[in-house]
Structure 1
Amino acid sequence: MENENTQIALFEHFSIEPIHEKYAWRMCDFVTINTKRLQRYFPKTLAANLNPTLSQIFVEEKVREYMKREEFLFVLKDNESRALIGLVYIKELDWEKRQAELAYCIGYQYEGKGITSLAVDTLSKYAIKELGLKTLNIIAHKTNTGSVRVAEKCGYTWRKQLPKEHTPPNEAPLDMELYVLSV
């Protein structure tokens, strides 16, 4: 397995890197700037990064999980400003079935630029080639058209509706859509 400083991919305007302790402050900044975007579908990430101290604890835990191959968190970083602009998780790993789920978010100012699709496509290929996974899932709400579009652009196929799959804070449970990529 690569070490935590290894860059997964470098593109013209952004790069993809595994989570590293150096991202704690940037994680806090990203969450603070994007609180409204994260509160519905990433409430745990939001709650774990409300201040720099919490972000340090969160990042240290995510680095440990990465090194133990329990969950992989990747940061999308702006090449010019070095700011954290998005996250992609490879989570819910089942090594026996060789499957996992991808979850992703992008900062509001970077939405609609194709960055998320490029990152998800790159990390889907990484999960298959480098991690040996055979089935990848993306779970999205049908009204989250950006997320659905990313799944479809990256070759994921709608499989089924998952009743009451996700419960956002202070909301009733939501039916979610399952998109699958299999090799």
Structure 2
Amino acid sequence: MLLNFGTYNIEPIQEKDAWKLCDFVISNAERLKRYFPKTLEQNSTPDIAAIFVSKKVKQYSANQEFLFKLTEKEHRTIIGLVYIKNTDWNKKQAELAYCIGYQHEGKGYITKSVKGLSTYAFDHLGLTTLQIIVHKTNMGSVKVARNNGFTWQKTLLQEHTPPGEAPLDMELYELRNNSPEHLPRTSRF
């Protein structure tokens, strides 16, 4: 387990999570289709989800992309996901992307998760800049960024194209941490 938040945990995705991930994605398909279309498509059946999870476990081991699951302690169900992705080791920069199940929206789980994983990214991965890219109408996601100290940098023109829609301008938020206490203590892992 990586982080413990009382009623839920944050852990890296594991091979055994394929069925649970498929359940999460299918039950939240409407929420995911606009901003997480690839995650939705690649987890639409348990067999496809197994391939997806296997790929994510390998990417995690290779320090390429890090997918974390938020798991409810009582029932061990997946209630959300947080990616640390688009990692640029030369710039010591990565992007955070997140989603929460409809039943758990508005409870602060993603805000706390982003805070915990930001600290993890600074302390253990040695990153110094984290980015969140959101659409201006996604007020919940904007609030998560602001509540975690991310500051607006600029509008990214035609940054994201949802399925069946025209390209959308997205807002870039960043959190920088160059302080000595957040430089890596050891190697990346």
TM-score (norm 2): 0.93
**Of 108, 112, 130, which residue of structure 2 is paired with 1:114?**
108
Is the aligned partner of 1:175 residue 2:169? yes
2:182 aligned residue = none
Is the aligned partner of 1:128 residue 2:132? no
Give a deviation string over 1:29-49, Cα, whole Å, max 9, x none. 000000000000000000000
Give a deviation string over 1:72-102, Cα, whole Å, max 9, x none. 0000000101000000000000000000000
Give a deviation string over 1:8-51, Cα, whole Å, max 9, x none. 11111100000100110000000000000000000000000000
Identity %: 59
State the alpha-carbon separation in 1 of the partners of residues 119 and 174 from structure 2: 13
The CA RMSD over aligned residues, in Å, is 0.4
State the alpha-carbon separation in 1 of the partners of residues 7 and 109 from structure 2: 9
Question: Counterparts of 1:43-58 in structure 2 under 5 Å?
Answer: 43-58=37-52
1:141 aligned residue = 135
Gaps of 5+ in 1: 1-6
Gaps of 5+ in 2: 178-189
Give a deviation string over 1:99-118, Cα, whole Å, max 9, x none. 00000000000000000000
1:24 aligned residue = 18
Aligned residue-pair number:
177
**Of 94, 97, 102, which residue of structure 2 is paired with 1:100?**
94
1:69 aligned residue = 63
State the alpha-carbon separation in 1 of the partners of residues 5 and 66 from structure 2: 20
TM-score (norm 1): 0.96
Dislocated runs of 4+, deviation >6 Å? none
1:86 aligned residue = 80
Q: Name the aligned partner's letter for residue 138 of structure 2.
A: N
